[in-house]
């Protein structure tokens, strides 16, 4: 099964080369980078790694939907620009989807920082994922393209598109979380503050999932929405 790796981008020049450079692609994977309006060198850097570099209207959900439309693979893997896939990720994904009626999956979360507080964030994030079967975008969400198309893709909302589609995916089948972990950059915690960022993420996820607060209201708590 061919895998289409879709990377949404907005001003990611500082991290993009590292992420794309660590992808080990064979003839059975393709890389699609979709830019949502960068003013830095993101598109130029992306073009060093793939010919499939596109521009789309700003908004992560819209950008990822655009990439999915361009995809030729039977499997879609959505990878954030500051996240590093684990070794042999493509083989693990294929074997997982072949193993049974699985709707979607993602990787457990690791954070590229030695601090103890980041181990606690990892533990909490992974526990939450296992308990709720809700995928966060920085965990490397993957699913069959036919599943994605049948659901109509990501909802056109300013954030929580990952949670929203997870809620719909749960109704169609099992969601799994794989090891080894994907490695996410600690930059947003370091930039905005560890306590603030963590409590905001948990508050917004809880508010959206259980209290049905709209993404349009929750987005006000974010300094930078992609």
**Would you mind telling me the total number of residues written for the chain in this entry?**
226
Model confidence at 207, in pLDDT bands (50, 70, 90)?
A: very high
Give pTM, 2 decimals.
Answer: 0.95
Residue 224 predicted with pLDDT over 80 = no
pLDDT digits (tens, 9 = 90+) for 140-156: 999 999 999 999 999 99
Question: Encoding tokens for residue 147?
Answer: 């599943």
The residues facing 78 across adjacent strands are 6, 141
Model confidence at 223, in pLDDT bands (50, 70, 90)?
A: low
The CATH architecture of the domain made up of 3-219 is Alpha-Beta Complex (3.90)
pLDDT score, position 14: 96
pLDDT score, position 226: 54
180 preceded by a cis bond (ω within 30 of 0): yes
Domain map of the chain by residue range?
A: 3-219
Question: Encoding tokens for residue 108?
Answer: 């457990």
Mean pLDDT of 44-62: 97
Helix axes 161-170, 194-209, angle to 10 degrees: 40
With pLDDT > 70 as the criterion, what percentage of the chain qualifies?
A: 97
Concatenated DSSP letters of 1-49: --EEEEEEESS-HHHHHHHHHT----TTEEEEEEESS-SSSHHHHHTTT
């Amino acid at each position: 099964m061919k895998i289409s790796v879709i990377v949404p981008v907005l001003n990611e020049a500082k991290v993009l080369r590292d992420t794309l450079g660590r992808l080990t692609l064979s003839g059975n994977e393709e890389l699609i980078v979709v830019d949502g309006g960068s003013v830095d060198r993101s598109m130029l850097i992306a073009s060093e790694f793939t010919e499939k570099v596109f521009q789309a209207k700003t908004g992560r959900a819209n950008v990822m939907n655009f990439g999915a439309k361009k995809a030729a693979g039977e499997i879609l893997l959505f990878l954030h620009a500051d996240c590093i896939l684990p070794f042999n990720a493509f083989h693990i994904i294929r074997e997982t989807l072949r193993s049974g009626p699985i709707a979607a999956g993602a990787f457990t979360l690791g954070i590229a920082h030695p601090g103890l507080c980041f181990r606690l964030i990892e533990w909490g994030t992974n526990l939450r994922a296992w308990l709720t079967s809700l995928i966060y975008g920085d965990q490397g969400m993957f699913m069959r393209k036919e599943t994605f198309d049948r659901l109509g893709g990501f909802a056109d909302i300013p954030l929580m598109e990952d949670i929203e589609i997870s809620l719909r995916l749960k109704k169609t089948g099992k969601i799994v979380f794989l090891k080894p972990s994907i490695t996410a950059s600690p930059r947003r915690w370091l930039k905005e503050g560890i306590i603030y960022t963590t409590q905001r993420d948990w508050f917004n996820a809880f508010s959206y999932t259980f209290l049905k607060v709209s993404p349009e209201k929750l987005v006000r708590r974010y300094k930078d929405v992609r």
